[in-house]
Amino acid sequence: MEIIQQLAAELKLRPTQVKNTVQLLDEGNTIPFIARYRKEATGELDETVIRALAERLGYLRNLHSRKEEVARLIEAQGQLTQEITSAIQAAATLQELEDLYRPFRPKRKTRASLAKEKGLEPLARLLLAQGAEDPKQEAVKFLTEEVTSVEEALQGAQDILAEQFADDPAHRARLRRFTHDTGVLVVERAADEESPEADEFHMYFAYSEEVAKIPPHRILAINRGERLGILKVKIEVDLERIHALLMKEIITNGAFPAAPLLRAAIEDGYARLLAPSLEREIRNALTEKAEQHAIQIFAKNLHNLLMQSPVRGRRVLGIDPAYRTGCKVVAVDEFGQLLEYTTIYPHEPQNRWEEARKVLAALVQRHGITLITIGNGTASRETEQLVAELIQQHCPQAQYLVVSEAGASVYSASELAREEFPELDVSMRGAVSIARRVQDPLAELVKIEPKSLGVGQYQHDVNQKELASALDTVVESCVNHVGVNLNSASSALLKYVSGLSAKTAQEIVNYRAENGIFQTRAQLKKVKGIGPKTFEQAAGFLRIAEGTEPLDNTAVHPESYPLARQILALIGYRAEDLRDRAALQRMRVELQELNPEQVAESLGAGVPTVRDIIASLAQPGRDPRDELPPPLFRADVLTLEDLQPGMILQGTVQNVVDFGAFVDIGVKKAGLVHISQLSDAYVRHPTDVVQVGDIVTVRVLAVDPKLQRISLTMKTQN
């Protein structure tokens, strides 16, 4: 109950909300399921809050478990006192707890441990007591065969005290805070020799910034430079203030004979033990915070990339551009099924431009193509010129779109791609991905490892396990928010459905292959590995458009079908009327007039569930992405040379990073809208203004053809 109360206080929730949500999580329910179908229990907590609660719950339970372990380890040494027990119980963070345990942690041989073995610990206690005795006279009492001089005895006592001061939890906490708040991160060039990577870090060759103010992306850049051996990094602090802080806590009277020895122990303990340890801890904390920030930005970009509006009902020609090996071209129908594929050689060294244009024209005519997608990699610019010429001369009804190739090669070489297209070579499979990813971005992009999708910042410099976990969470959230067609979804898409795994997803695909399409959601129970719990978690997120149960094409959970039929009966309709377009139009009007509170009371149901059922019945087969604007199509080509300062253009946001947004304006290189140019008002972070996939209006500020750089602005003021 203590954890429940703490979570409620921290997240500003009612204890009953937290208790019920924790119970649902402990029972093995997925977060999408809890957020969508257990609103009465959670008090309508959304997915974001439930994920935050689950993450914090894990931390607090881990902290509680570690507290028990630390207490047990200290007790095993016979040193667990009531004071230590109380301090352990009061520890609010793992860092605080580890500080408490540090003095008791088994150590390798240290100067202090060697001194203790020589029997010098009582001398150290005597010095710390700061009595009036002469330390040298007291040290004589500790001379042995191992300790042969007064100087050696006093040095050993100082070594013990230095380690004691460095391990003291209160000192560590105070100086950690002081170092973070007042320290300066100083960066220098590590080596004089030139290297290709060195240019990237030129700004950091003589750089310093306050530890407390350095932004996350600079931390990750500096870390990378240090890892490559290009940069040297340290934290500098005011040593005099540090020593003064410690002396104030430790030395009660500077006039005592032992005071100079204590001062020496303090300075040694800080320089040799405490400072290096705190620097590591602070830099690790900075890195962890920077990585979490980078992962959050990547996750936000990925969410917006996956949730882009699908382009429905259009046959697409996908082109994966290349020079010497030729451009791979595929035609797919409205559902992404491969119709035809070929290779054209319009560029160097073959230069078969006219032939390539005729081949494309024939493909467009033969298959009724209205949209051409071009990968943005090598030879993209020249291929775009070819397509613009094709549209102008042969098919003015068509449009084209340059799409990111990020991850296409990863998909091409995957087991899934080999299963889908065993007869195609790797590069041709990439062209299929380029064609399909505009038709249904979510369904196609889930086939690719999320971190390969090119919408991150420093993604290779962060904790890869945490990155993968965060991005998988984003994909899971998107897939379940949209819903999945049970009869057409790939195993790559199905595995992200609430309750399903890669194994059960593949079993669904196998079942379809052996038994034909699913007629009802209930048939899922016949699939190997799908028991009652898995069915409960997954069923509401799976759709069947043409089955025998009309409610299977809605977001209504099977457990609520009786309630949904009762609600329809209240307005004189049946579930079968959902398939009658005219009846559905009338039904929507009457559903909107229902009062969810009154309906819930009359039917003995929860208000949130009734509200959701009414909304779902009004829009069977709804895809929330259809409400978003479509991508920006083009019919003519623009070159870098065409750009002039002051030009107003429309573009698509490709990536959002800490310092701005990269916008595709139809030339080979994306332009940068620096954070200072995103809005007339102050912008805290670029994601507050723009998202990946947004269509934005920009003005050209400057063009540097030599460096291939384009500076853009979204400001309305000069």
Residue whose C-alpha is closest to residue 246's, from 223, 262, 222: 262
Q: Are residues 76 and 115 in the same domain?
A: no
Give domain status of residue 14, yes or no.
Answer: yes
Residue bearing the bigger pLDDT, 602 or 627 = 602
Please identify which residue in the block is written with the tokens 């978690």: 537
pLDDT for 640 equals: 77
Q: Are residues 396 and 322 in the same domain?
A: yes
Q: Are residues 259 and 132 in the same domain?
A: yes
Give domain status of residue 260, yes or no.
Answer: yes
Alpha-carbon gap, residue 663 to 635, rounded angstroms = 18
**Cβ-based neighbour number of residue 475 at 10 Å:** 21
Which of 294, 325, 350 marks a domain boundary? 294
pLDDT for 131 equals: 83
Q: Helix (H, G, I), strand (E, B), or coil: what is residue 6?
A: helix
Q: Are residues 275 and 352 in the same domain?
A: no
Give domain status of residue 453, yes or no.
Answer: no
pLDDT band at 132 (very low <50, low <70, confident <90, very high): confident
Q: Are residues 335 and 434 in the same domain?
A: yes
The phi and psi torsions of 197 (rounded to 5 degrees) equal -75, -25
pLDDT band at 161 (very low <50, low <70, confident <90, very high): very high
Q: Are residues 137 and 267 in the same domain?
A: yes
Q: What is the mean pLDDT of residues 500-520?
A: 96
**Strand 542-543 relative to strand 660-664: parallel, antiparallel, unpaired?**
unpaired
pLDDT by residue (tens digit) across 624-676? Answer: 988 878 888 877 767 777 888 888 988 889 899 898 999 988 787 889 999 99
pLDDT for 48 equals: 95
Give domain status of residue 86, yes or no.
Answer: yes
Give domain status of residue 481, yes or no.
Answer: no
In this structure, what CATH number is given to the domain that contains residue 408? 3.30.420.140
In this structure, what CATH number is given to the domain that contains residue 674? 2.40.50.140
* 521 contacts 538 by C-beta, under 8 angstroms: no
Q: What sections of 27-108 are H helices per DSSP?
A: 31-37, 39-42, 47-76, 82-90, 94-101
Alpha-carbon gap, residue 473 to 653, rounded angstroms = 23
pLDDT band at 470 (very low <50, low <70, confident <90, very high): very high
At residue 387, what is the residue type? V
pLDDT band at 38 (very low <50, low <70, confident <90, very high): very high
* 311 contacts 438 by C-beta, under 8 angstroms: yes
Give domain status of residue 175, yes or no.
Answer: yes
Q: Are residues 578 and 687 in the same domain?
A: no
* pTM (two decimals): 0.87
pLDDT for 133 equals: 84
Alpha-carbon gap, residue 315 to 297, rounded angstroms = 34
Alpha-carbon gap, residue 424 to 307, rounded angstroms = 29
Alpha-carbon gap, residue 412 to 420, rounded angstroms = 10
Which of 439, 456, 478 marks a domain boundary? 439
Q: Are residues 115 and 216 in the same domain?
A: yes
Assess whether pLDDT exceeds 80 at residue 458: no
At residue 144, what is the residue type? T
pLDDT for 192 equals: 67
pLDDT by residue (tens digit) across 662-681? Answer: 998 878 788 999 999 999 99
pLDDT band at 373 (very low <50, low <70, confident <90, very high): very high
What domain range is 567 assigned to?
502-623
pLDDT band at 193 (very low <50, low <70, confident <90, very high): low
Q: Are residues 525 and 671 in the same domain?
A: no
pLDDT for 647 equals: 87
Give domain status of residue 585, yes or no.
Answer: yes
pLDDT for 255 equals: 81
Which of 411, 439, 467 marks a domain boundary? 439
In sequence order, the 6+-apart residues with CB closer than 8 A to the CB of 5 are: 15
H or E stretch covering 404: none
pLDDT by residue (tens digit) across 52-107? Answer: 999 999 999 999 999 999 999 999 999 999 999 999 999 999 999 999 999 999 88
Assess whether pLDDT exceeds 70 at residue 5: yes
* 430 contacts 408 by C-beta, under 8 angstroms: yes
Q: Are residues 137 and 282 in the same domain?
A: yes
Longest dimension (CA), the chain: 105
Alpha-carbon gap, residue 370 to 332, rounded angstroms = 11
Q: Are residues 149 and 255 in the same domain?
A: yes
Structure tokens belonging to residue 648: 């107003």
Alpha-carbon gap, residue 185 to 311, rounded angstroms = 49
What is the sign of the dihedral through the CA atoms of 544, 550, 554 and 557? Answer: negative
Total domains in the fold of the chain? 5
Q: Name the average pLDDT for the chain.
A: 93
H or E stretch covering 697: strand 695-704
In this structure, what CATH number is given to the domain that contains residue 546? 1.10.150.310
Give domain status of residue 460, yes or no.
Answer: no
Residue bearing the bigger pLDDT, 199 or 63 = 63
Radius of gyration of the chain from Cα atoms?
33
| DSSP codes of every residue in 550-591 | GGGGSS--GGGHHHHHHHHHHTT--GGGGG-HHHHHHHHHHH
The phi and psi torsions of 361 (rounded to 5 degrees) equal -60, -40
Alpha-carbon gap, residue 329 to 434, rounded angstroms = 10
pLDDT band at 252 (very low <50, low <70, confident <90, very high): confident
Determine the Cα angle at 333 with ends 329 and 336, to 5°. 80
Assess whether pLDDT exceeds 80 at residue 314: yes
Q: Are residues 125 and 98 in the same domain?
A: no
Q: What is the mean pLDDT of residues 559-573?
A: 96
pLDDT for 651 equals: 87
| DSSP codes of every residue in 208-222 | EEETTT--HHHHHHH
* 221 contacts 202 by C-beta, under 8 angstroms: no
Q: What is the mean pLDDT of residues 565-593?
A: 93
In this structure, what CATH number is given to the domain that contains residue 45? 1.10.10.650
